[in-house]
Structures are given as C-alpha cells and as structure tokens.
Chain A
Amino acid sequence: MCLALPCKVVAIDGETATIDVSGMKKDISLALLDDVAVGDYVIVHVGYALTKLDPDEAEKTLALFAEMGEQAMAEAAREIH
C-alpha cells in the first residue's frame, strides 16, 4: 500500500489540487505541503501529496545511472578484448 506515483499538478484550489496521471484527473489534498505550484510533480499517497519531486535531482540521478553503466560497459568491453 506504499506504492505511489509521481503526479503532475494541473490545478490548485486552496488545499485541494487536481493531478493528471496519464490523462486521468483526480483531486488530492495539499494539507501536508506548502509551496506547490501548477506544473510541479508531487508524490501522492492515500490521497495526499507527500513531497515535491526535485527535477534537478532527478536529472542528476539519471545522469549518475548512465555514467555508472557506461563505465561498467567500457570496463567489460576491455576485458573481452
């Protein structure tokens, strides 16, 4: 029951936000978070936004995956030759 998806906020009305998940709209509560703006991604769990996604950190993490993988693949290629 802890599975939860990052969802895009498309509208805000007071403490209620509308999120879009692959075209499906749903209202959630922003009671646990301040400073959410339309366009932000939030992790939604049991109808509440728990935290905002940091786009810069997401990019850095993906870049790290790629870097680790490329190094390992290059190393493996060297071992084969």
Chain B
Amino acid sequence: MKYIDEFRDGDLARGLSAAIRQAAVPARSYHFMEFCGGHTHAISRYGVADLLPDNVRMIHGPGCPVCVLPVGRVDMAIRLALDCGVTLCTYGDTLRVPASDSLSLMKAKARGGDIRMVYSSADALKVAQANPEKQVVFFAIGFETTTPPTAVAIKQAQALGLKNFSVLCCHVLTPSAISTILESPEVRQWGTVPLDGFIGPAHVSTIIGSQPYEFFAEEYRKPVVIAGFEPLDVMQAILMLVKQVNEGRAVVENEFSRAVTREGNVKAQNLVAEVFELRRQFEWRGLNVVPYSGLKIRKEFAEFDAEQRFPVAYVSVADNRACECGAILRGVKKPQDCKLFGTVCTPENPVGSCMVSSEGACAAHYTYGRYKDFQ
C-alpha cells in the first residue's frame, strides 16, 4: 500500500538501526518518551526496541486517549444510558474501559442500555436523525485529532435544528499532558525518570502543527521530534533525538513533514475554537487533575452539551489500588512491573485502561512483547 509499506521496509530499518548504534555514545544513556499510543503500538508491533542499542530506552507516555480516560467519565456515560435512558453513541475503544461497580459500557449494554458503537461523530448524528423520539448522546473522547470532528457534528446538529442530539465532551489537550509530566508535584509520589527528549505526536500534530512543542524545547530544554506512526518513522526520530542530545541542542524537528506543517490544520483549529473552550480543570487517569487540560462546549452551543441537559455531575473515582496504570503512563514503571499484568489483567478482561486499547502500553506489551520477559 502506498505511503505505508515503504515506511516498513526491512532493509531501510537495518540501515537506520546501524545509524542509531553508531550515533549513540556508549558512555551515556538516552531516555526518550514516545507520547502517542500510536508510536507505542508501532514500537511493540515491529520490535523497534530490539533494534536499538541497550543505552537507548523508550518510555511509553500518556498519549492514548482511552488510557487517560478516568473512571468517573465512563460512569457518567453509563448513567446517561442506564438512568437517563439516552441512546449513547461511542467509539469502539471506550466500550471495555473498566468503570465503577464492575461495569463497563459493554456490560451496561448487556444490562439493557442502548449503547451503540459508531465509527464517526457523523454516524452519531445520523442515529439522532433516524430516531427523533430518542435523546442521543455522543460520548466524545480523544486528543486534538477527534476534537474537530466533534465540533463539526455539533455545528451540523445546530444547522439541522436537532433537539435530540448532545455531546458528553471529554476531549483533552496534548501539550497540557506533556507539561504535567515535566513538572507536576505528583512526580514526588510516583518518582520520575530522566527524560532526554520526546517523540512528538503524529496525527495530533497534523491538526495543531509543530509550533506548540517549541515551548517545551525552549522552556524545558527537551528536544522534540514529531514522527509518523510507521516503524521507520519512529527509528528516524530516535536517530534525530540522539543527534540532538549529542550536540546539546533542544529544538523541535519534524520527521513527519509529509503530513505535518508548523501551523497545522487552521480550518480545524478555527472550528474547535468556535465550539469549545478550556475547562479550568480536568481529571486524567494516571495524571490526576490537570489544570486547563480539557475542553468543554461553549455556552453558545449549550443545548448540545449533555452535561447541561442531563443530571450527570462528574464524581472522581479512585482506580483499582493494585493497578499501576498511573505509574506506567508516566513512564516510571513498565507494564511487566504491575502485579496484575497478564494475570487478572488481560486484553480480554482489562482491569486498568492501559490494557484496553491496542495502543495502551500494557496491551501492546501483552500482544507483542510479553514472551521476551521469560527469556
């Protein structure tokens, strides 16, 4: 397939692996965080870690939107379906996220909730149009990639004059999460790992551009290389980060220039700004409450805000005490350090959210890497 297979070429991978080995200075170690779950998935699936020298270590970050969705938000969606009797439309990944009372959206569906998986916010809108007698709520989650489609759906609902469509907005912002990792007080609780640089998001950056990361490079002196989600993209980004560290530089570089510009998708940014505004605070799974890290629907579009329309206030719920998702999302622990990993917590029966999505650090390691632990 064009623009896919050529970025998975084995010969090129061997060459890049050799280049990384030659560039990495043996006397020092390199710790890079790949923020996006898409990169985590690629690293696990294609065995990228095995192609790196021992002193280059990749740390999985919190860039999987399903993994950072807190229990309390899933509880709200379940209450909407079971208590308020709405038709809840959701992306498939959220269906198995563990919630309170041993529930998940999938189990709530089994209890009679009208919960439907949709591929797109536009599909949720179609459900509302086709069922005018039902209140339809779209459970909107994700980073800057899924936010513009939600904005489009809300604007279309307004244009169509729909009275039975609203959105439970749980959209979050990438730069806030990176700031939190770099400076939050919880680092004292979880401990921290030295971070020498970041692999910046691929598809998020198609929307927001590379410009927002310049702050991290300048303020925190951390190199950032934005990279595509194919294995060669990730390897090239690692090579670029190693070179920046060696040269004492900390700038934003763009490996994914075939899809990302400095400015990003301005049309999408304007749509998001028109429909959403910053929340003062939003709770993330694993990162706790992060100020100005989430979005809510502007009051001009309040009739499409499920939190205004239905009595479902957010209640914070602690994660399972044995679950190490919080430490794993911060890169302090590896999936295999968690007592639950691969025992009671598996992709078929996830206890923590990192095991739910194929982009979660635990699910990726369970699927592609766990047998190496026994060697």
Query: A residues near B, CB below 8 A?
Result: 1-6, 8, 21-22, 29, 31-34, 41, 43, 45-48, 50-55, 57-58, 60-62, 64-66, 68-73, 75-76
Query: B residues near A, CB below 8 A?
Result: 1-4, 6-7, 9, 11-12, 14-16, 18-19, 21-22, 36-38, 41, 63-66, 91-93, 119-123, 142-143, 145-146, 148-149, 152, 201-204, 206-207, 229, 232-233, 236, 239, 255, 257-260, 265, 267-268, 271, 357-359
**Known: A2-B204, A75-B22. Contact between A46 and B15, CB under 8 A?**
no
Contacts of B3 in A (CB 8 A): 6, 41, 53, 58
Docked CA distance A61–B237 (Å) = 11
Q: In the complex, are the beta carbons of A46 and B91 less than 8 A apart?
A: yes
Contacts of A8 in B (CB 8 A): 2
Identify which of B15, B92, B152, B203 contacts A2 (C-beta below 8 A): B203
CB distance from B6 to the nearest CB of A (A): 6
Q: In the complex, are the beta carbons of A61 and B236 less than 8 A apart?
A: yes
Q: In the complex, are the beta carbons of B15 and A73 less than 8 A apart?
A: yes
Q: In the complex, are the beta carbons of A53 and B258 less than 8 A apart?
A: yes
**Known: A46-B91, A57-B257, A62-B6. Contact between A51 and B19, CB under 8 A?**
no
Q: In the complex, are the beta carbons of A32 and B152 less than 8 A apart?
A: yes
Which of B2, B36, B123, B143 counts the most A-chain CB atoms under 10 A from its CB? B2
CB distance from A8 to the nearest CB of B (A): 7
CB distance from A50 to the nearest CB of B (A): 5
Q: In the complex, are the beta carbons of B152 and A31 less than 8 A apart?
A: yes
Contacts of B357 in A (CB 8 A): 1
Contacts of B267 in A (CB 8 A): 32-34
Q: In the complex, are the beta carbons of B149 and A66 less than 8 A apart?
A: no
CB distance from A56 to the nearest CB of B (A): 8
**Known: A29-B152, A69-B14, A69-B16. Contact between A47 and B123, CB under 8 A?**
yes
Q: In the complex, are the beta carbons of A45 and B16 less than 8 A apart?
A: no
Docked CA distance A33–B11 (Å) = 35
Q: In the complex, are the beta carbons of A3 and B93 less than 8 A apart?
A: no
**Known: A1-B65, A2-B65, A48-B149. Contact between A68 and B4, CB under 8 A?**
no
Instruction: Give A42's nearest chain B residue, CB to CB.
Output: B259
CB distance from A39 to the nearest CB of B (A): 11
Q: In the complex, are the beta carbons of A1 and B19 less than 8 A apart?
A: no
Docked CA distance A51–B261 (Å) = 10
Contacts of B65 in A (CB 8 A): 1-2
Q: In the complex, are the beta carbons of A68 and B145 less than 8 A apart?
A: no
Q: In the complex, are the beta carbons of A70 and B15 less than 8 A apart?
A: yes
Q: In the complex, are the beta carbons of A32 and B149 less than 8 A apart?
A: yes
Contacts of B1 in A (CB 8 A): 5, 21-22
